[in-house]
C-alpha cells in the first residue's frame, strides 16, 4: 500500500489517498464512519475521504458519516461541534453530533474523556450499521504514543503503538494518515479553503502528551527513532499473531454458537492461544493472567472455569463453552439487540420477546436435527415469548412466525482481533 508522502513538506493529495484506501479495504457497501473532532487532522481526513468516496475507484462505500463528539468540557464546545457539522456539510459529508453529558472536572480527565468518546463512537457506528471507523491519527501522534508507552515501561506489544487497522469485535478502526506529518494535513485544508477548530487543551502543558508533543515537534530525528521502534515492534507483533492464528486453526474447531472443541488437551496449547480462546468464548475485554491460565489448563478435564468460560468434556474432547452463570440477563429482542456481548439479533420478533440463554430447556419433540448435549447448549442464544421458547436460530428451531429471525456473532474474527502495522 502507498506509504506516506515522500517528504514532510508534501501534503497528501486525493490521488495518494485513493491509493492508500485501496490498500486498506475491502470497504463494505454501507456507511463508513469518520471520527471528526473539528481539528485540522480530522477535517483533512474528512475532506480526503469525501474526495475518494465521490471518485471513480472500485469498492468505495455508498455513504460517509462524520461523528462529532461534544465532550461538553468547555463552554464553547457546543458551538464548535455545530460549526464542524456545517463544515462537513459544506464538503458533502453527512454528520451527527454525539453529546457526552456525564463527564465532569476531576482527576484523569483525559483518560475518562477518551474512554467516553470511544464508547459513544462505537455505539453510533453500530446504530448506523457502520463496520469501519476512520481515525485521523498521524505521524506525530504515533511518535507521542510510543514515547509515552516507553516511559510507562511497555513491552513489545505496547510499543507497537497504534495500528493502521485494528479489528474490534464488530468494527474496524482504520488510520489512513498514520504516516503523515500534521503540517501536511493543515496544508490540505489551506489549499481547500477550509478552517478548523483549535482545542486549547492540546497545548496545555499540564498534560503529559502536550509536553511530549512540544518536545518532539522540532526534533525529526527523535520522531524517526520512535517510529522505527514502533515499526519493529509492530512487525514482531504481526508475526506472533500469524503464528497464533496457525496454532488456533490446527488445534480447535469453533462453532457458530460460540463454543470451541479442542483437538488437543488445553495444557498443550500455548498460553497465547488459550488466552485468545478464553477471551472469545467468554467475550472478555482483557486477557486472563498467566497463573490463572495455567491453573485453568491443568484443571480443564475437571470442569474448571475462567473468565466466564467453562471447560466441558464431551464425546472424548474438551470443549470451551460460555459459563451459563456468567451470561447476561435476557434483553428485549429488538432488531440489532446485542446480548451477552456475543450475539446480535437480526429481525423484528414483536413485542414481549426476549433474547437470552437457552439454559436447561429440553429440545422440542420435533427438531430439524439433534441438539448438542445440555452442557454445550446452555449458553446458546434463544428467543422466548414470556416463558415459551419460540426460536433457537443456531439449532434450526423456529415456531411459526419466527423463521425470519437470525442471530449473528458480534466478533468478525472468531479467534482474535488482528491488527496491521504497515
Domains and CATH numbers, the chain: 14-240 (3.40.50.620), 255-324 (no CATH), 327-409 (no CATH)
User: What is the rounded distance in angstroms from the CA atom of residue 191 to the CA atom of residue 194?
Assistant: 8
User: What is the rounded distance in angstroms from the CA atom of residue 169 to the CA atom of residue 196?
Assistant: 32
Per-residue pLDDT at 241: 85
User: What is the rounded distance in angstroms from the CA atom of residue 243 to the CA atom of residue 259?
Assistant: 22
Q: Is 39 annotated as a binding residue?
A: yes
Q: Which residues 6+ apart lie within 8 Å of 271 measured at CB?
A: 290, 293, 294
Q: Are 166 and 247 in contact (CB under 8 A)?
A: no
Distances 33 to 65, 255, 316, 333 between C-alpha atoms, Å: 5, 31, 46, 26
Positions in the chain short of pLDDT 70: 1-9, 203-205, 366-367, 411-422
Q: Is 235 annotated as a binding residue?
A: no
Q: Is 163 annotated as a binding residue?
A: no
Q: Are 174 and 245 in contact (CB under 8 A)?
A: no
- pLDDT, tens digit, for every residue of 120-179? 999 999 899 899 999 999 999 999 989 888 888 888 778 888 999 998 877 899 999 999
Q: Is 41 annotated as a binding residue?
A: yes
Number of C-beta neighbours around residue 151 at 10 A: 10
User: What is the rounded distance in angstroms from the CA atom of residue 305 to the CA atom of residue 321?
Assistant: 10
Q: Are 49 and 34 in contact (CB under 8 A)?
A: yes
Q: Are 88 and 95 in contact (CB under 8 A)?
A: yes
Q: Is 316 annotated as a binding residue?
A: no
Per-residue pLDDT at 152: 84
Q: Is 9 annotated as a binding residue?
A: no
Q: Where are the beta strands (DSSP E) in 105-232?
A: 132-134, 165-167, 172-174
Amino acid at each position: 500500500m502507498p506509504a506516506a508522502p515522500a517528504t514532510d513538506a508534501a501534503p497528501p493529495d486525493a490521488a495518494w489517498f485513493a491509493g492508500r484506501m485501496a490498500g486498506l479495504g475491502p470497504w463494505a457497501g454501507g456507511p463508513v464512519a469518520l471520527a471528526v473532532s473539528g481539528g485540522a487532522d480530522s477535517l483533512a481526513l474528512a475532506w480526503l475521504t469525501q474526495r475518494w468516496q465521490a471518485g471513480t475507484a472500485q469498492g468505495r462505500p455508498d455513504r460517509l458519516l462524520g461523528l462529532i463528539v461534544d465532550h461538553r468540557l468547555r463552554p464553547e464546545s457546543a458551538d464548535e461541534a455545530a460549526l464542524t457539522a456545517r463544515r462537513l456539510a459544506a464538503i458533502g459529508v453527512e454528520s451527527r453530533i454525539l453529546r457526552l453529558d456525564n463527564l465532569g472536572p476531576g482527576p484523569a480527565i483525559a483518560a475518562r474523556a477518551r474512554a467516553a468518546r470511544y464508547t459513544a463512537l462505537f455505539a453510533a457506528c453500530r446504530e448506523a450499521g457502520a463496520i469501519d471507523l476512520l481515525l485521523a491519527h498521524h505521524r506525530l501522534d504515533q511518535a507521542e504514543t510510543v514515547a509515552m508507552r516507553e516511559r510507562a515501561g511497555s513491552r513489545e506489544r505496547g510499543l507497537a503503538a497504534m495500528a493502521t487497522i485494528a479489528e474490534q469485535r464488530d468494527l474496524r478502526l482504520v488510520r489512513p494518515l498514520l504516516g503523515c506529518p500534521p503540517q501536511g494535513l493543515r496544508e490540505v485544508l489551506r489549499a481547500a479553503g477550509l478552517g478548523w477548530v483549535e482545542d486549547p487543551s492540546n497545548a496545555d502543558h499540564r498534560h503529559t502528551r502536550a509536553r511530549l508533543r512540544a518536545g518532539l515537534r522540532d526534533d525529526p530525528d527523535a520522531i524517526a527513532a520512535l517510529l522505527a521502534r514502533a515499526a519493529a515492534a509492530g512487525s514482531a507483533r504481526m508475526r506472533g499473531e500469524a503464528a497464533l492464528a496457525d496454532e488456533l486453526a490446527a488445534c480447535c474447531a469453533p462453532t457458530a454458537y460460540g463454543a470451541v472443541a479442542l483437538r488437543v488437551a488445553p495444557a498443550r496449547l500455548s498460553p497465547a492461544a488459550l488466552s485468545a480462546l478464553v477471551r472469545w468464548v467468554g467475550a472478555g475485554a482483557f486477557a486472563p493472567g498467566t497463573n490463572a491460565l495455567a491453573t485453568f489448563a491443568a484443571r480443564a478435564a475437571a470442569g474448571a472455569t475462567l473468565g466466564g468460560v467453562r471447560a466441558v468434556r464431551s464425546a472424548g474432547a474438551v470443549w470451551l463453552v460460555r459459563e451459563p452463570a456468567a451470561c447476561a440477563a435476557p434483553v428485549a429482542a429488538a432488531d440489532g439487540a446485542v446480548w451477552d456481548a456475543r450475539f446480535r439479533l437480526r429481525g423484528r420478533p414483536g413485542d414481549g420477546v426476549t433474547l437470552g440463554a437457552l439454559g436447561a430447556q429440553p429440545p422440542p419433540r420435533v427438531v430439524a436435527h439433534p441438539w448438542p448435549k445440555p452442557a454445550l447448549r446452555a449458553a446458546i442464544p434463544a428467543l422466548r415469548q414470556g416463558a415459551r421458547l419460540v426460536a433457537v436460530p443456531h439449532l434450526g428451531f423456529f415456531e411459526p412466525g419466527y423463521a425470519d429471525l437470525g442471530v449473528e456473532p458480534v466478533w468478525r474474527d472468531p479467534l482474535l482481533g488482528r491488527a496491521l502495522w504497515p
